[in-house]
Structure 1
Amino acid sequence: MDLASIKKFFASLTLQKLVPVILIVVIGLLLVKLLLKLFDRVLERSRLERTMFSFLRAAMRTLLYTILVLVAASSLGVDVTSLVAILSVVSLAISLAVQNALSNVVGSVTLLTTHPFHVGDFVEIGSDSGTVEEISVSYTKLATVDGKRIYIPNSDAASARICNYSVEGRRRVDLYIGVSYDAPAEKVREALLAAAQHPKALQDPAPLVVLNNYQDSSIQYLLMLWTASGDYLDVRFAVNEAVKRELDARGIAIPYPQLDVHFEPQKRNT
C-alpha cells in the first residue's frame, strides 16, 4: 500500500464507518476479558504448574487480540488476506530467529504436562543431578548437594534420561562390604544389622543382609535398608560409619588386596 492509497483510505473514513468499528473493538475487548477469565478458571482446575499457566495464558491473550485486530481491520475495508500473509511471514522469520528459544518452550510444555518431576524433587537429568528449584519457560534449575546451580535447557531435559529419586517417597540404601574369609557369616550378618539400626532407617521393609559375591581377597556382603528420600544421604553416611564400628567391635577384619610372591632359587648347571 503506497502513500496515496493510505491518504485515500483515511479520507474515506466517515463517522458511519467508524461507529461500527468502535463498537466491534469495545465489544471485542469485553469478550476477550471474559474469555480470559473463563480460560483462567479452566487452567486453575487443571492444576497445571504456574509456569505453564502463565505461558498458556499469554499465548491465548495474544491469539484473541490478534483475532480482534483482524476483525476490526476487516470491518474498515482493509484487505485482511494480505495482512494475514504479512503476519505469517513475520511470525516465520521470528520463529527461525528464536528457534532454540522456541525449542526450550516446547520442552517446558512437555515437562509441565508429563510431570516427570516437580519442584523439590531430587532428580538425575542426563549426567547432572540435584534438587529441582525451578521449572521456567526456558530452563530447569537444579541445586546440587555441593552448593552449585545447574541450568539445563528444557529442550535437553525433555529429551534426556530422567531418574526421579523423590517420586516414591523412599529410597533403598545399598552398602557393599568386603570382610575376611575367616569371619563367620552369622557374625558378619549380626554386625551389619546392628549398624543398620539408625533412627531414620525404615523397619518396613526391614534391613536385609545377603552374601553377594566371593572376591579374590574377601567375601562381599550387601546391606540393604530403606529410608525416606530426603534422609538418604544422612542415613547412608551414618550407617557406613557404623558398619566399621560394629565390625571392629566384633573383631571382624576388612581385608585389602594382597599379593604373595614366591621366588624359587635357580639351580646352577654343573
Structure 2
Amino acid sequence: MTYQTGMLTMMLTSIVYALVILAVGYWGAKIAVGLIRGLMERRETDPALVGFVANLLNAAIITFAFIAALGQLGIETTSLVAVVGAAGLAIGLALKDSLGNFAAGVMILIFRQIKSGDVIEAAGVIGVVETLNIFSTQLKTGDNKTIFVPNGKLVGDNIINYSTKGTRRIDLVYGVSYEANLAQVKQVLTDILAKDPRVLSEPEPFIGVLELAYNSVNFAVRPWVENANYWPLLF
C-alpha cells in the first residue's frame, strides 16, 4: 500500500511539475513575444516581419515547453527530438527555394532597401512597389500590370531604386537634318525646356550633339525633374 501511495504521489508530482512547465512556457512565450513586438515596432520594422517573428518565437517556446513537460512525465523525448529534427530537415530541403525567398524578404524588410511606393528596376522588371511580403514583392508596371517577384530574385540581382533621390534626369534624343542650323536647334530646345515649369534650373539641363547618324544629327537633351514629373514629361 505504501509503495502504491508513493508511486501515486510521484505521478501526481510529475503531472503538477509538467503543468507548471507548460504554464511557465505559455506565459513566458506571451512575455517574450510582447517584448520582441515592442522592440521591433519601436524600430518601425515592417508589420509583416513583426508578426512572423512573433509567431515563430511563440511556437518555438511552446514547443520547447511541451517537450520539457513530456520529459518531466518520464516520456523519452530523445527520439521525439530526432524525429522533429529529421522532419525539419526534410521540409527545409523540400522548401529550399521558398526558404531562400523568405530569408531575402527578411533582409529587404530589415535593411529597407525598398519600400512601398518606390519605383524600382530589378529582375528585369520596372514598376512601383505596392506590397512587400515575406516571400515576394508586388509591383505595378506602367501599363497597370501586377507582377509578383520572388524576393530571392530581388536580392540576387542589382536593384535600381529611382525613388531614393528627389530628382531624376531624363535622357532624350532628337534628330535633325544635316541642313539644319545646329545653333538654332540648340536654342529652340533650350527655350522649350526653359518654358516648362517642370524642368529644374538646377542642375542645368544639358543640350549638345550626341552623334552624327546616317540620316540625322542627333542631339542629347538631358533635363532634370522631380520624381513625380519624370513619366509625364518623358511621354
Name the TM-score, length of structure 2 as normaliser: 0.88
Matches of 1:124 and 1:190 in 2, distance apart?
34
Matches of 2:10 and 2:157 in 1, distance apart?
58
Question: Aligned pairs, how many?
Answer: 227
Matches of 1:51 and 1:110 in 2, distance apart?
13
Distance 1:30 1:116, change over 3 A: same
Aligned ranges for residues 64-213 of structure 1 at < 5 Å? 64-196=61-193, 197-213=195-211
The equivalent of 2:4 in structure 1 is none
Cα displacement string for residues 215-261 of structure 1 (whole angstroms, at most 9, x for unaligned residues): 23322211111112222110112xxxxxxxxxxxxxxxxxxxxxxxx
- Given candidates 184, 208, 215, the residue that maps to 2:213 is 215
| Residue 107 (structure 1) shift | 2.1
Q: Is the 8 A contact 2:30 2:58 kept in 1?
A: no
Matches of 1:56 and 1:109 in 2, distance apart?
10
Q: Does 1:61 align with 2:53?
A: no
| Backbone CA RMSD of aligned residues | 1.9
Q: Is the 8 A contact 1:133 1:143 kept in 2?
A: yes
Matches of 1:151 and 1:78 in 2, distance apart?
47
Q: Is the 8 A contact 2:104 2:151 kept in 1?
A: yes
The equivalent of 1:227 in structure 2 is 225
The letter for the 1-side match of 2:140 is A
Unmatched tracts of structure 1, length 5 or more: 1-10, 238-270
Deviates more, 1:127-136 or 1:154-163: 154-163
Matches of 1:77 and 1:42 in 2, distance apart?
38
- Secondary structure of 1:140's aligned partner: strand
| Residue 13 (structure 1) shift | 7.2
Name the TM-score, length of structure 1 as normaliser: 0.78
The letter for the 1-side match of 2:48 is T
Moved beyond 3 Å, runs of 4+: none
The equivalent of 1:260 in structure 2 is none
Q: Is the 8 A contact 1:131 1:143 kept in 2?
A: yes
- Secondary structure of 1:14's aligned partner: helix
Cα displacement string for residues 15-50 of structure 1 (whole angstroms, at most 9, x for unaligned residues): 222112222222221111111111111111232222
Unmatched tracts of structure 2, length 5 or more: 1-7
| Residue 114 (structure 1) shift | 3.2
Matches of 1:65 and 1:27 in 2, distance apart?
9
- Secondary structure of 2:171's aligned partner: strand
- Secondary structure of 1:152's aligned partner: strand
The letter for the 1-side match of 2:18 is V
Matches of 2:198 and 2:9 in 1, distance apart?
81
Aligned ranges for residues 39-58 of structure 1 at < 5 Å? 39-58=36-55
User: Highest Rg: 1 or 2?
Assistant: 1
| Residue 12 (structure 1) shift | 9.4
Matches of 1:49 and 1:209 in 2, distance apart?
43
Aligned ranges for residues 250-269 of structure 1 at < 5 Å? none
